[in-house]
Structure 1
Amino acid sequence: MKTFGKKAWVIAEGFIPSYGNGPKPEFESHETACILNTSNQKAQIEITIFYTNKDPVGPYKATVEAQRTKHLRFNELKDPEPVPKDTDYACVIESDVPVVVQHTRLDSRQAENALLSTIAYSE
């Protein structure tokens, strides 16, 4: 199969609400990086989080197996430290092989949930 994607992606907008409506984990407010690896090699992923009023944090590390997808919830990133809720952030996602990244947010603060999805910026 052809390898699609780029090795560097940017999500300039991030925010995890501190509360939501509905059962967890399905309807917990969250941000997700959906990463597709169409190559024949596993992808080693590093994520750096940027903030308004403090130094960047990272790298957060993940692996996406060859010809697989992985949905990484920012709420679940813990090492080197949890991504704080109710805080504006942005991120850079780097991979050692080309991947495709899509950004998704579920905001369940109201009973009428809102879902946002967009392709990240690639370089």
Structure 2
Amino acid sequence: MEIGRKAWIIPDAYTPPESSGKLESHEAICILNRNDQAAHLSIHLYFEDREPIEHIEYVIQGKRTKHLKTDSLHKDGESVPKGIPYAIEVNSDLPIVVQYSRLDATQSENALMTTLGFAQD
């Protein structure tokens, strides 16, 4: 049975600029590739007041999962800025599942949020 989609959108991405306590605020896109073959991803980041960062390439092997921290996404010296809202688009040549998670550690009472992205083929 095929599970997953080839296009995913996460419209509300944001890394808090500061953290308190032992944990650091961060976010991740969590990807599951149930296919036997490697999935080739193209990730695009969209902003309110600047040009997007497009075509960040990533390969996830077959029958694997990967938690990509968004601060690890780089293209031509550009990366995800902290404290700036943005959106994430993930495209794949094979069906995958994409979940988004954010840990907000700006207060001593940490908040963890997670959701599936919006999927489209």
Query: Which band: TM-score by shorter chain?
Result: over 0.9
Which residue is equivalent to 2:87? 90
Identity of matched residues, %: 39
Find 1:113's aligned residue among 68, 85, 110. 110
Runs ≥4 in structure 1, deviation > 4 angstroms?
A: none
1:35-69 CA-partner distances (Å, limit 9, x unpaired): 00001110111110000011211211111110000
TM-score by length of 2: 0.93
Q: Is the 8 A contact 1:4 1:39 kept in 2?
A: no
- For residues 61 and 105 of structure 1, what CA distance do their matches in structure 2 show? 22
Find 1:39's aligned residue among 31, 35, 39. 35
Q: Is the 8 A contact 1:51 1:88 kept in 2?
A: yes
Q: Is the 8 A contact 2:31 2:98 kept in 1?
A: yes
- Displacement of 1:112 after TM fit? 1.1
Which residue is equivalent to 1:3? 2
- Displacement of 1:120 after TM fit? 0.3
More strand by share: 2
TM-score by length of 1: 0.91
- What number of residue pairs does the alignment pair up? 119
Name the amino acid aligned to 1:10: I
- For residues 37 and 3 of structure 1, what CA distance do their matches in structure 2 show? 11
- Displacement of 1:22 after TM fit? 3.6
Which residue is equivalent to 1:122? 119
Task: Kindly report the root-mean-square deviation, in angstroms, between the aligned alpha carbons of the 2 structures.
Answer: 1.1
Name the amino acid aligned to 1:108: A
- For residues 73 and 22 of structure 1, what CA distance do their matches in structure 2 show? 20
Pair 1:79-2:78 in alignment: no
What does residue range 13-24 of structure 1 map to in structure 2 within 5 Å?
13-23=12-22
Q: Is the 8 A contact 1:12 1:90 kept in 2?
A: yes
Local SS of the residue matching 1:9: strand
- Displacement of 1:3 after TM fit? 3.4
Where does the alignment leave 5 or more consecutive residues of structure 2 unmatched?
A: none
